[in-house]
Homo-oligomer: A and B are copies of this chain.
């Protein structure tokens, strides 16, 4: 990474608008760019704070503040005495960051998945809108059922931009898709936003989950974004919430 171009702590002028842009933000953006480019593979150790500070020509405290921000965004992990590492998409992180279904006793458990269909095709209007795709873009669609504690309780439909995942259709699909995205395609899911509704199950979902059509279910509509903000996945999950609930902390 090239040294931060000073004038470091001055102002940035954008069309007569003056925006103060602190040094540690510039450092953060630089590191973020390198992360998005895949300069360090998932799990790799970054240079130490001292080394980064020397490379960039700033103080260690400034580097630290930039690293702190990236740790807060779950992109990096610090381990005292060891170093700073690129966050992995292992099951424990997924469980902690992306999976909110909790049993009555408060335990989180990674659900087992059974893939029903994998296919490709042109994106529908809705898929294009949700994933911000061009007119004739292609998508990969995955349909699966997931079980918690042996009980099938999630019927899931996943849509991915085909351009990002060449050859995905031929692969065996693991339980943890985000781990696959990171390892095989270098695409790390950084964050997601979910929209929740209550719906009555349609015939197809009801059959899959072994309940009557019209049973109330929690519909989770998720859009997942990569580090650089690209829309990577659109996922709709229909969940039975008789033995499980969605936990949300308002802090």
Name A's B-contacting residues (CB within 8 A): 73-74, 97-98, 100, 102, 191-200, 216-219, 221-222, 239, 241, 245-251
Contacts and interface: CB of A to CB of B under 8 A. Distances in A.
Contact of A248 (B73, B102, B193): B193
A251 B195 contact: no
A222 to B, nearest CB: 8
Contacts of A102: 195
A216 B196 contact: no
A162 to B, nearest CB: 24
Contact of A193 (B74, B193, B222, B247): B247
A18 B198 CA distance: 49
10 contacts: A73-B251, A74-B251, A97-B250, A97-B251, A100-B250, A192-B249, A194-B248, A197-B246, A198-B216, A216-B216
A98 B248 CA distance: 11
Contacts of A200: 216
Given A197-B218, A248-B248, 16 more contacts: A74-B251, A100-B248, A100-B250, A193-B247, A194-B248, A195-B246, A196-B218, A196-B241, A196-B247, A197-B241, A198-B217, A198-B239, A199-B241, A200-B216, A216-B217, A221-B245
